Amino acid sequence: MTGGWTAFCGYQWSWGPFARLHDIKTAGLPGNSGQYDLANVRRLTSSPLEGKHILFLGSSVTYGAAAQGVSFADYIALRNGCTMTKEAVSGTTLVDEGFGSYISRLCKLDVPHADLLVCQLSTNDATQKKELGSVSESFDRADFDTKTIAGAIEWIISYTRETWDCPVVFYTNPRYESGEYAAMVELLHRIQQKWNITLMDLWSDTQFNSITPQQQVLYMADRIHPTKAGYLEWWTPYMEPILYQVVEET
């Protein structure tokens, strides 16, 4: 990869040594103004998540690449008085292709206890056109082809349950133009039925996606990445009730 391409990736998607260029680019967006800073967010008086520890696993959207490293994970933890491990690296994939993949990073976590795993259905697998694969008939982790999206998702669910014995929640991005990601969402629904996991499907929820053009400008830095305002005012109120139900039923 040339230096120019590396710089371009850093500027566009907050990757690698040029990630700071992207932060400078997005700092002036209306949705990243000071009113949305963590310091201005109030903690809820009571929450089913209070005192819980949540693992957030993902890539740039979980990290908050267009929001100065702040995402829904940070807002949920602060608002609800819970602790978190945010294992999020921009540009990484579910498909296991080395030390940066979801699986590799999940295995390296030194977290003795977790009450919940929230995992991103990565847009990078769609952008990079990774192999979709199919849902396995097995529940044995050794049988999952982690070089495919399906196998990687099933592996993550199995590993999490065995390691932390906690519920698994996957979330999708809101709707954007991508046939590959649409196929991933459909696959995730089939995996949900097999493993009985919780799915926060921002992609398929018509009401959630029915925001005004003005909100679109405020909430999104590009077609994939939210601003702080998007995470705080749009995503967090949608996700919190679902997470409350998960922990209350555990």
Q: Which of 115, 75, 108 is nearest to 92 (CA)?
A: 108
Token reading at 207: 């009401």
What does the alpha-carbon distance between residue 144 and residue 60 come to, in Å, rounded to a whole number? Answer: 25
Tens-digit pLDDT profile for residues 114-164: 999 999 999 999 999 999 999 999 999 999 999 999 999 999 999 999 999
| Helices then strands, each counted (H, E), the chain | 12, 5
Superfamily of domain 29-249: SGNH hydrolase (3.40.50.1110)
pLDDT of residue 197: 98
DSSP state, 18? G
Domain ranges of the chain: 29-249
Token reading at 181: 């990601």
pTM given for the model: 0.91
What does the alpha-carbon distance between residue 65 and residue 23 come to, in Å, rounded to a whole number? Answer: 8
Q: How far is CA 104 from CA 7, 55, 112, 147, 159, in A?
A: 25, 15, 17, 12, 12
Angle value at C-alpha 132, between 92 and 121, nearest 5 degrees? 45
Segments of the chain scoring below 50 in pLDDT: 1-9
pLDDT of residue 22: 67
